[in-house]
Every structure is written in structure tokens, then in C-alpha cells.
Amino acid sequence: MTTTTPSDVRPDPPHSPDDRSLTEFGYRQELHRSLGRYASFAAGFSFISVLTTVFQFFAFGYAFGGPVFFWTWPAVLIGQLLVAACFAELAARYPISGAIYQWSSRLSNLTFGWFAGWIMVIGQIVVVAAAALALQIVLPAIWSGFQLIGTDSAPTSADGAANAAVLGVILLALTTLVNIMDNRVMSVINRIGVTAEIIGAGLIIVLLLTHSERTPGITFHTEGAAQPGLLGALLVGSMAAAYVMIGFDSAGEMSEETHHPRRTAPRTILVALGAAGLLATLIVLGGLLAAPSLTDGRLGVEGLSYVLTSSLGDGVGRALLADVVVAIAVATLAIQTAACRMLFSMARDGQLPFSGRLARVNPRTGMPSAPALVVGLLAAALLLLNFASPDAFLAIGTTCIVMLYLAYAMVTGPLLIRRLRGEFTTDGTDETGAKLFSLGRWGIPINALALLYGLFMTVNLAWPRAAVYDPTGGHWYFQWFTVLFLGATLALGAAWRLYVRRTTTATA
């Protein structure tokens, strides 16, 4: 078996300035370049998917952090904007699919970059599963008929967990089908879904704020928090915001399908995160102010679905929840697409098992079909954990955040080293002749803070808190699930790399 590196790929002659920006890295244009600025924004925004993730993890954040968990949202947004600023620079200089893998490889070396890409793609597959599970939060609240298994719709119950897995598998079948079709179809669905989500999020914010039951001063309280102490409440409560504000790098992931990627991707990375973070923060504030009660226990179990249907009435509440369903479906599609591009990019360099098949692009649709099937099947397999225990819901959600945060740090770390050595250039122009996006003299401090923030949050999220990950006791493997999953991912990746090295040496 042989492997290739980016420089081993012989490109076809370029046909446009955008194609030439890819050719200089040793690749030929295979994916169809059809995405404009709004479609690029939609790729990042739909991965973050404010309505999906806020509705999915609001109850968790409130249960453990109480009202004060609101302040973790602006804090996480600032931290992630530091990371996004670094990514915007890299998206301008390396407009290639497989962003995390490509950026880390070119900033450090192929082995380190491979592990960054490996961790990222496994994390993305887990995020796909976690996003699909979000349907359980809203569908039964719209109509009880969506509760196909049992009667208890709470995702923390045995019935709710099993039903979430069934609904999630159905959604994954649909998103996998779309990811095999033409990327223009995917783009249209993304744009329509994101537009509906932005409108829906705006309506929810306005309606919640106009139905306030209390003043914003409540956000300084910790009453009812399951996690004792202000610091503990903030650290655990921050997991909700950390889960929401990931995936903004997807705009860079879609660079090979975007017109003028050096100019477009940096802007859309920052705008997608900024817009999503602002909307999410306002929705959380509105939910806390409009909740009928902060002490009856329902807000920490049913979350925002309870607030909408109770405060706004069943009719309006369910209509808005229907918009959340659209957001969940589009988010699952976008996350799966990003994972497909990562698999494609690594396989194109011969860096994965079955690389030849995974790197194959359908010339008619411009889509890599095999990665879509792989991601869909693996994500569906993860959903089966929900049949084992309701605690799997939180384990899956937290694991995917840790994987992505660690992968991000494996980019910001090498980038900081390059800056300190004076090896990171700020020169160059985009497709229009304008200067590439650059942090200039702020590069080192922003980069350093981004790395420290990322490492801190990785440790905070992965910390095996029994009260959080195994509240009922008796499931030690859920308490340590994130650490065990990450260890297994690294071990499997190391085993594959060792096998490839030995095979290559034996056939040399």
C-alpha cells in the first residue's frame, strides 16, 4: 500500500482564478464550485445552528448552572471569536477542503496534521449523531404522535432516549441522500433553512423579551443550580455554550466549492460565528426572562420548548418549534457535509483506509458519495447507544465538543509557533487583488489567547464529573466516556499510521 502527500497529486490545468488558487497546492478542481457568499455563510451558520443547539442544551446548562449560566454565553463567544480570527487568516491562505487537516499539516507536519484531521473527522461524526438527537427535544412537543416509543418524551428517560435514536436515524437517512445529490441541491436547502432559522430566531427573541416575567438581574443568581458554587456552576454551565459555538470553520471546509474563497471564507467564518453567538445569547436571555417559573423544575428538564409553549401559547409555540425542526434538519445536513469534505480531503492524499473509494467524486453531481454513506452509517451506529442508557445523550454531546476543541487547538498551537518564529506571512492578495485578511500586529496576542482558551475548555469539558455524566450512578463508562473515546480514537489512529508505515517500508 502507498500513500501520497499533497505535493504528489498532479493537477489538471486550471480554468479559472478560483481553480488556480487550488492548483498551486497540487490539487485539481473536482468538486463543483457553485457557492456564493451567502451559501458560504450558510455553511458555517447551519453547522452552528442556533435553534438546534440552544434548544438541545438549554435545559442542561440551566439545570447545572442556574440563571447565572447566561454569562457563559458571551464569554464563550469571545473565546471562540479569537479562534475564528486565526481560522479566517488560514482560510485566506489555504482555501482547501479538509480545513483543519490541511491547515495543521501545513503549519506543522503531515503526521501532526493527520492526527488533527483524524480527531476532527471523528468528532464531526459524533456531532452529526448529537445533532440528529435534537429532534427529540421538539417533535414530541409539537405533536405527541412523534413519540413512537413509550410515553415519556424527556430525552433523559429510557423512552425518550430510545425515541430520539429512532427519529435521528430517520433524519440521517434523509441527510445522507441529500449529500449524495448535486451540491446545488444541498446549497439551496442550506440557504432556505438558514434563512428560516434566522427569521425564526429573531421572532423567538422578540416574543420572549416582550413576554418577560422578570428583570435581567436574575442572571446574577445561582438558585436552583445542581452544581454547587459560582465557579462550578459557570464551568459546567459553559458546556451548553461551548456545544453551540462550534463548526464555524465549515465555511473554510467548503472553500473548494466557493467562488473567490480567499476573499469569501474569512469573512463568512467571522460573520457566521458572530451572528450565531449573538442570537444564541439573546435567546438564552429571553428564555430566562419569559419562563413561567425558574423553580418548578421544568426549565431544567424541558428547556426552551416548555418556555415557548407555556408563555406564547400552544399555537405560536408549536409554529416556532416547527421552525426549530427545520433548523435541526439543516444543521445535521451541514455537519454531515463538513465531515464528508474532511474525509474526502484526507483520502485524496491517501491518508485513510479505502482512500481510493473515499476520494472518488461523482463527475455529474460533484459530490463524494462514499464519505456521505460512511458518515451516515457511523453516526447512526452511535445513536444506538441511546438504547443502552439515557446518559448516552450527554456523553455523545460532550464528546463531540471535546474532539473539536482539541482539533482546533492543534491548529492554533502550530500557528502560534510559526508566528513566534516569524515564519507566518501576512503577505498576499485575494482573487480581487485586495490584501489577504490578516490580524497584523495583533496576531500573536490573539493567537496565544485562542490557544489558551481552547486548551482550558478542552480540559473543562472532558473532566469526568460523576454528577454530570453519571448522575444515576452505576455507569462508570459514561462518566469517563469522553476520555475513553478520545483515547480509543488516538489509539486507532496510531495503529493505522503504524500499519501504513510498515506496509510502505515492506513494499519499498
User: 341-368 pLDDT, tens per residue?
Assistant: 999 999 999 999 999 999 999 988 889 9
CB contact at 8 A, 257 and 183: yes
Report which of residues 41 and 311 the model is more confident about.
41
pLDDT of residue 474: 73
* Phi, psi (deg, nearest 5) at residue 214: -155, 175
pLDDT of residue 439: 94
- Say what percent of the chain tops pLDDT 90: 57
- Please identify which residue in the block is written with the cell numbers 473509494: 357
CB contact at 8 A, 193 and 46: yes
The residues, any chain, with a CB within 8 Å of residue 188's CB and separated by 6 or more, are none
Residue 504 has pLDDT above 80, yes or no: no
Residue 4 has pLDDT above 60, yes or no: no
> Three cell numbers at 37?
457568499
State the average pLDDT for the chain.
89
pLDDT band at 508 (very low <50, low <70, confident <90, very high): low
For the chain, give the longest Cα–Cα distance: 73
pLDDT of residue 330: 93
What is the spatial distance between Cα 60 and Cα 233, in angstroms, rounded to a whole number?
A: 11
pLDDT band at 500 (very low <50, low <70, confident <90, very high): confident
Residue 60 has pLDDT above 60, yes or no: yes
pLDDT band at 3 (very low <50, low <70, confident <90, very high): very low
| Averaged pLDDT, 174-178 | 94
Distance from the Cα of residue 331 to its chain's centroid: 9
Report which of residues 2 and 418 the model is more confident about.
418
* Phi, psi (deg, nearest 5) at residue 429: -130, 155
Q: Which pLDDT tens digit goes with each residue over 204-262?
A: 999 999 999 999 999 999 887 888 788 888 998 899 999 889 999 998 899 999 999 99
pLDDT of residue 102: 96
pLDDT of residue 5: 46
pLDDT band at 34 (very low <50, low <70, confident <90, very high): confident
Quickly count: other Cβ atoms within 10 Å of residue 206's Cβ.
12
What is the spatial distance between Cα 263 and Cα 213, in angstroms, rounded to a whole number?
A: 45
457-460, long-range: CB within 8 Å, 24+ apart, which pairs? 457/76, 457/79, 457/238, 457/242, 457/405, 458/402, 458/405, 458/406, 458/409, 460/235, 460/238, 460/239
pLDDT of residue 386: 80
Residue 8 has pLDDT above 60, yes or no: no
Sign of CA dihedral 482, 486, 487, 491: positive
Residue 51 has pLDDT above 50, yes or no: yes
pLDDT band at 507 (very low <50, low <70, confident <90, very high): low
pLDDT band at 17 (very low <50, low <70, confident <90, very high): low
| Averaged pLDDT, 473-483 | 83
Residue 28 has pLDDT above 50, yes or no: yes
| Averaged pLDDT, 405-427 | 94
Residue 7 has pLDDT above 70, yes or no: no
